[in-house]
């Protein structure tokens, strides 16, 4: 089963359905493998699809495409094994689109029939899950994993949990000072080697974050020895005894570090954007301003609370997006109704190479606005 990736989200955001309906379905998958709920979910989700399509005035080819979408989605949900989380399927058979991905987080069941894929839940999860390199280092060796989608994958180092004892036997005749100096030099060399391994794992797996673990008293020395670009990625450290900590201990502790780090990063970026907005700088706050900024392709980073959702309109000619309006004020053409204007905005930002950060906490200063954005330039006034 594929996992969501930036490339996939981009592909979906840029997909051209040539006027055919696109079906996006998200179905909860429970942890219990004996659970048969997915079949029930599939039934009610496809019922939603048919209801939405009934009001849409479909062409003959649109109808054929939709029938094929329904069949494939039903089969995928009822006949395949899905990991716990959410099964996501986006299909537009008539235009050759079919993507199924397993999302690691559980979101509510949802079916959307629209002219474009509904991708918000995927972008939210992608944003939450920047992949991290996790390294447990001590003087006996380094173990390195990658952490993505809540799963730890072994990358390099000692695969088993046993740690070699440092060999002090040969130093019996040395005085304590020399032993100490020798040990420090060994540690330094070992740390350099470990840093090289971590660097290689980060490069090979595109890890943006680093979590370091080890003995509490040895960690500061190792952090000190890190090259600058690795230190810049350091999300946090975990005190871990390599002899007793299991892979599951490491996974849980590292996930918590990454979560806390990402939460802090989002809060910081909310503060910065709202400060800029208050100072009349290049920033937008509130859905209407953000939609206008999205129309002008002005958004560098969009911050959006997950709860925010609103029906609205879009102009297919120049991509004017707004909450309401039968005609586009830019070109005078008739607009098209969309079920969730925030999803259109998210797509527009991704298409232009901007970033989207989804905020799940409701106790941040963003709560008052719902959405805010760091802009590439100060906005001209909105057309009335």
Q: Which is nearer to Zn ion, 323 or 330 (CB)?
A: 330
Query: Per DSSP, what are the bridge partners of residue 372?
Result: 285, 303
Output the smallest distance, CB 72 to Zn ion, in A: 34
Q: Which is nearer to Zn ion, 324 or 331 (CB)?
A: 331
> Hunting for tokens 């899905």 — which residue is that?
82
**Residue sitting closest to Zn ion (CB):** 328
- The mark string for 291-330 relative to Zn ion (x by CB under 5 A, - otherwise) is ------------------------x-xx-x-------x-x
Output the smallest distance, CB 362 to Zn ion, in A: 34
> Hunting for tokens 């871990």 — which residue is that?
240
Among the candidate windows 15-23, 196-204, 231-239, 333-341, which touches Zn ion by CB under 5 A? 333-341
Output the smallest distance, CB 124 to Zn ion, in A: 29
Q: Which is nearer to Zn ion, 278 or 330 (CB)?
A: 330
331 binds Zn ion (CB under 5 A): yes
Q: Which is nearer to Zn ion, 173 or 332 (CB)?
A: 332
Output the smallest distance, CB 321 to Zn ion, in A: 10
Ramachandran region of residue 280, left (φ > 0), alpha (ψ -120 to 50) or beta?
A: left
Judged by CB under 5 A, how many residues of this single chain contact Zn ion? 8
Q: Which of 297, 260, 257, 271 is nearest to 379 (CA)?
A: 297
Output the smallest distance, CB 14 to Zn ion, in A: 20
| C-alpha–C-alpha distance, residues 255 and 257, integer Å | 5
Q: Which is nearer to Zn ion, 257 or 321 (CB)?
A: 321
Output the smallest distance, CB 336 to Zn ion, in A: 10
Q: Which is nearer to Zn ion, 293 or 328 (CB)?
A: 328
Residues contributing to the site for Zn ion (CB under 5 A): 315, 317-318, 320, 328, 330-331, 333
């Amino acid at each position: 089963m594929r996992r969501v990736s930036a490339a996939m989200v981009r592909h979906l955001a840029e997909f051209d359905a040539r006027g055919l309906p696109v079906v996006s379905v998200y179905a909860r998958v429970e942890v219990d493998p004996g659970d048969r709920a997915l079949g029930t979910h599939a039934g009610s989700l496809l019922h939603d699809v048919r209801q939405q399509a009934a009001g849409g005035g479909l062409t003959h080819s649109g109808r054929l495409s939709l029938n094929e979408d329904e069949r494939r989605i039903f089969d995928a949900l009822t006949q395949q094994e899905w990991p716990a989380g959410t099964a996501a399927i986006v299909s537009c058979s008539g235009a050759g689109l079919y993507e199924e991905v397993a999302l690691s987080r559980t979101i509510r069941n949802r079916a959307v029939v629209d002219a474009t894929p509904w991708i918000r839940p995927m972008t939210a999860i992608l944003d939450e899950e920047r992949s991290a390199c996790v390294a447990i280092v001590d003087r006996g060796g380094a173990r390195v994993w990658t952490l993505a989608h809540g799963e730890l994958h072994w990358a390099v180092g000692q695969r088993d949990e046993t740690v070699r004892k440092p060999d002090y036997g040969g130093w019996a005749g040395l005085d304590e000072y020399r032993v100490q100096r020798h040990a420090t030099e060994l540690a330094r060399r070992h740390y350099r080697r470990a840093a090289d391994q971590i660097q290689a794992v980060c490069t090979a797996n595109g890890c943006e974050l680093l979590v370091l673990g080890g003995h509490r008293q040895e960690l500061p020395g190792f952090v000190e020895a890190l090259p600058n670009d690795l230190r810049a990625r350091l999300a946090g450290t975990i005190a871990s005894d390599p002899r007793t900590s299991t892979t599951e201990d490491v996974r849980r502790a590292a996930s918590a570090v990454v979560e806390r780090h990402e939460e802090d990063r989002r809060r910081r970026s909310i503060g910065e954007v709202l400060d800029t907005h208050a100072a009349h700088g290049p920033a937008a706050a509130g859905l209407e301003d953000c939609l206008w900024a999205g129309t002008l392709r002005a958004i560098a980073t969009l911050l959006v609370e997950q709860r925010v959702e609103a029906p609205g309109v879009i102009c297919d000619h120049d991509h004017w997006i707004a909450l309401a309006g039968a005609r586009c004020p830019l070109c005078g053409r008739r607009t098209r109704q969309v079920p969730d204007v925030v999803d259109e905005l998210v797509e527009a930002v991704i298409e232009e190479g901007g970033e989207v950060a989804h905020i799940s906490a409701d106790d941040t200063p963003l709560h008052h606005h719902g959405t805010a954005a760091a802009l590439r330039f100060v906005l001209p006034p909105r057309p009335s």
